[in-house]
Structure formats: structure tokens, C-alpha cells
Chains A and B, each alone.
Chain A
Amino acid sequence: AGMALPTGESDQDETNRKNPPGKAKGKAKKSDGSQSTDNDLERIFLWDLDETIIIFHSLLTGSFAQKFGKDPATVLNLGLQMEELIFELADTHLFFNDLEECDQVHVDDVASDDNGQDLSNYSFSSDGFSGPSAGGGPGSTSTVQGGVEWMRKLAFRYRRLKEIYNGFKGNVGGLLSPMKRDLLLRLRSEIETITDAWLSTALKSLLLIQGRCMNVLVTTTQLVPALAKVLLYGLGDVFPVENIYSATKIGKESCFERIISRFGNKVTYVVIGDGRDEEFAAKQHNMPFWRISSHGDLISLHQALELDFL
């Protein structure tokens, strides 16, 4: 009943105003006199992607169909079509062919090798980044892997990735042919129906959080396909590209550690996932964990956010 605090007032202000007797050393944070601004980050929500926000992987494995009593063939078909779109986008526009073997945890990880040169007329397809590796025949123009020049070209790719992501995060259709655009819309609609509006329910929470704190994505998908998934599922606006981490190489626990180093430990982190890796990683870092195993859990999450419990 009336849980939400009036806008702009933080818990610290309320405590200081009331000044309850007998509270010599309260557990609440002491206000340092400054009003908490919009820039003060209180919470950061660390989201898992698959089976938490989007339903994708379990479409392919059949586990979704089984768990929720849907027709396996239909579900599988949707999954396969989506998968095709994801990898087509990844290959065509996101350099996945080049980057699959050397994908990073975070889009800025190789930025230090970048020289900042103008890329507007740069030809990624013929810069010799990828070609036959060791033992390229006579006249091979491929760059030595791992060398300085190669690292720079790698950095260019991630820079371009960021540009593409930022340019199309609100409108991924612009990256697709009209036919594929229609296919995408159709697929998303069908997946929404068959998953009982899973994604849009998750999106409610994501948007609410974005309004007052921050969303971070930590996924076990490789970075480039993860970016493709985020774009295709229309999540580009709730996850800035710098807030996306791939745990494929280093695991979720290490990703969480990186995030803590980045944002500090004065923030409260909340982990949201469907279990397994993220639950364990959360425990290791003493972060509260909100499990998503059903539709209802997403609804409860939204409720808790609305009621200002989280």
C-alpha cells in the first residue's frame, strides 16, 4: 500500500528528516549532504539473454515445447528460421566470419589497438584481415595474425560494429532486405504468440529499469551473435552496446567481476537469469538473484519493480 517514495526523495533523505531516536548508528547510508541526482546509480541489473529475456535456444532443443506443451515441430521451425536470420545478420553485417575465432568479451576490448583513422571509405572485405592463415601461397596479402597491423584491423571491425549497432538499434530492418524484414516481423510475432508474450513481458521490466537505473547483458553467446540477437529481437534500445558482455571465454563470474570493477561496489547489483551459471556467479559475488523459470516470474519481477521493491 503506497510503497513508492515520492519522486526525487531517496531513503537517506527520509531518514535524515525523521531522525528517529535511539538510532545512534543506523544501518542506512548516511547522506553526505548532497541530494541524490539522476546520475546516482543505485542499482544495476545483470540480465541473462537466452530463456530469460528471449526464447531462442530452447526453441531449438525442444525443451520449450516440452515444458509449455507446445507443438514441437512448429516451435523447432520457428527456432531454425530465427537462427538463420541471426547468423546471416552476423555474417553479412557484423563481421562474424572474420571474428568468430577471435571474438571478444566486450566491444571495447581491443580499442587500444585502434589508431582512430577515418573508416568511411575503408574496405573491410579486402584489407587482408582474413585469408589463408599460415602458409598463404605466393602473392598472399593476408596479414600476420596477432601482429600489430592485424590487431589494428581487428579494432577497426569492432569500431564499425559499434557504429552499426548504434545506427540500427532502433531499426534493425534497415540492415535487412525487404523480404528478410518481413520474415523477421512474422517470426517475432509468431514467437511472441507461442511464448505467451514472453519478450514483451520482459521488455516491460527492462524499460522500467532503464528509466531509473541500468541494464547490463551478460550472455554465454559469443559477442557478435549476441549483438545480432539483441538487434533482431528489438532490444537495442535497452542495452547500450557498451553494456553487453559475452561470457563465452571467461565465464559469468569473471564478467561480473569486470562489471563490478567498472561500476564500483557502492551499487547494488541484481542478477536475473534462468539459473545455472548466473545463479552460481551471483552467489560468488554475493549478489541477489531473481530466477526466471516461467512467465509468472517475469510478471512478478515487473510488479516488484513497479512497487519499488527492487
Chain B
Amino acid sequence: MSMPPTFGFTQEQVACVCEVLQQGGSIERLGRFLWSLPACEHLHKNESVLKAKAVVAFHRGNFRELYKVLESHQFSPNNHPKLQQLWLKAHYIEAEKLRGRPLGAVGKYRVRRKFPLPRTIWDGEETSYCFREKSRCVLKEWYTHNPYPSPREKRELAEATGLTTTQVSNWFKNRRQRDRAAEAKERENDGANPNGHNPLTSHVNENKSLCESSEDDKSPAATPDHSSTSPAILMPSSSGLPPLHSFAPPPGPSASIIPVSGSDAQSHHHFSMHDGLLNIMTASLVELGS
């Protein structure tokens, strides 16, 4: 590490100054300090120095420079949170400028999707959850026993997790949808269909968007439509699947979808899932899938 003799600080000392000024919020001073550093390559690759550069660039609104710095060097995990914040905030600000007004939660989500965190400041773990770990555990546990809690059970779950019943309902609905999507994708990858394209799943996905937005209080009027159209899509004669109608009581006010592996039932059925009925259902579903 060759440093011009006129510059009296070691790399470690430079890093210390960078940290001190950053922590103290003296970003102007930090900028001037960085400017005064000798053009030593080794020094400018120091992580604390790079972090400082990123902070200064952000502070000055120089976002091109910020992104360049963040993507230029593999930062150590303990610096990831702060640098991720810089990346995201900068992108939000830029999006807001384009939009002309502040970003809401959805807008920010879209920004995050459009500009995913670079792996230099992110370990790839999707670990930022909205609900507490404890709550999620309770919900997960319940889901493994019964993915279709009744309204009363949902209320109980809400109380146990500190969430609202709507949040609980949405959690279950999303969970079912994602499980089904994951399973469908697995089937696709398994090469069950030589084309690699399962017509059932693609149709399922289309119709899903119609059904999945349902809440418990979905109007009965909407449901019969689905019931009438879906069997046509899902009952290819070759598949040998028994008509699903036989499993279903008439559509009720609550709408939820039975997860059927490979092919999805588009009928809306409300079941109060007594264990006995559930076991029968499961057994039959297993048969369907094989």
C-alpha cells in the first residue's frame, strides 16, 4: 500500500475517519475529506471509503455515481442494510420524480421489482416480512393442518397472532395460491407435458386472477358463472378425471378454491372442513393426482 509521504494517514485511519464522519452525519465534511485523499487505488477500494463515497453520492443526489459504487465492490454483510437503504431510497426518489408525486406502497414494490438489489449489497435472501416471525409460525402451523380455516377459526387466529381477520384471510389465500403456483411449476419442470407447457396450468392461472380476489363475502351471483365455465376447461376426456361436481356442495357465499394437484378446480365451494370430510377429500385428491 503505497501512500504519498505527504499524506499522513494509513488506510485504517482513513477508514476510521470515514466511519466517524458518517456516523456523525457530517456528510459535507466527509465529501471534502474524500476529495482530499490521494489517488491511491488500494485506498479507494477500501470498503469504508467506498461506503463513504456512496453516502456522499446519495447526499448530493448523484445517483448514477451511487449505483456505480454499490455495484462495484462486494460489500461485507454488516454493511448491507445501510447500503440497501441507499439503493432503494435513490430509486424511489427517481421514480417519484418521474411520476411527479410520492410513491405508495405498490409503487415502491414495483420499483423494487424493476431495480432488484445487486448481489454486491444483498445476499439474495428474501427475508423482509411484514408479520412477526411468531405470527407467521402460528399461521404456518395452522396451514399444515388445515389450509381452509372457518370464519370463526380465522377470528381465533387473528387473536392469536395480533393480526386482523382480513390479514389472516389474505395470508391463507395468498399461501394457497403460492403453494399451488409452486406445485404447478414443479409439474411443469418435471416434464409431465412434453411441450413443457401445461394447458391446464395456464388456464388455471388466467382464471385464478378472477377467483383469487374473492373474499369471504363474495356475492353468490358471481360464483355460478365460474362453476359453469370451469368444468369445460378442466375436463379433458383423456385425463380420466371423475367430474369434480360430485365433491362439491352447491356454491355458497364464501368462495375458496380446492387445491387440486396438476389441475385446478375452478368451482367455488365453501366447505366446513370436518376432519372426516377432509380425509375423504384428501384421499380422492391423491388419487386424482397419481
A residues whose Cβ falls under 8 Å from a Cβ of B = 1, 3, 5, 11-12, 14-15, 20-29, 42-43, 268, 270, 288-291, 297, 299-300, 303-304, 308-310
Contacts and interface: CB of A to CB of B under 8 A. Distances in A.
Interface residues of B, number: 30
B13 A304 contact: yes
Interface in B18-40: 19-21, 23-29, 32-33, 36
A12 B96 CA distance: 25
Nearest to B10: A300
Interface stretch (B55-63, B173-181, B195-203, B227-235): B55-63
Contact of A28 (B20, B25, B32, B96): B25
B16 interface: yes
A250 B211 CA distance: 62
A303 B59 CA distance: 27
B17 A20 contact: no
B19 to A, nearest CB: 4
Secondary structure call for the A interface: loop
B251 to A, nearest CB: 50
B36 A14 contact: no
A170 B102 CA distance: 60
Given A3-B33, A23-B59, A11 B27 contact: yes
Most chain-A CB neighbours within 10 Å: which of B60, B89, B96? Answer: B60
A20 B13 contact: no
Contacts of B58: 26-27
Contacts of B8: 299-300, 303
Secondary structure call for the B interface: helix
A29 B29 contact: no
A309 B34 CA distance: 10
A309 B35 CA distance: 12
Interface of B: 8-10, 12-13, 15-17, 19-21, 23-29, 32-33, 36, 55, 58-61, 86, 89, 93, 96
A11 B29 contact: yes
Task: Name the 8 nearest CB pairs between A and B, nearest first.
Answer: A22-B61, A288-B19, A29-B25, A268-B24, A11-B26, A268-B23, A309-B17, A288-B16
Nearest to B29: A11
Contacts of A304: 9, 13, 17
Contacts of A21: 61
A1 B25 contact: no
Contacts of B86: 27
B24 A42 contact: yes
Nearest to A269: B23
A304 to B, nearest CB: 6
Given A20-B61, A300-B8, A27 B27 contact: yes
Contacts of A309: 17, 20-21, 29, 33
B17 A23 contact: no
Contacts of B89: 25
B82 to A, nearest CB: 10
Contact of A27 (B15, B19, B55): B55
Given A23-B60, A309-B33, A43 B24 contact: yes
A289 B27 CA distance: 19
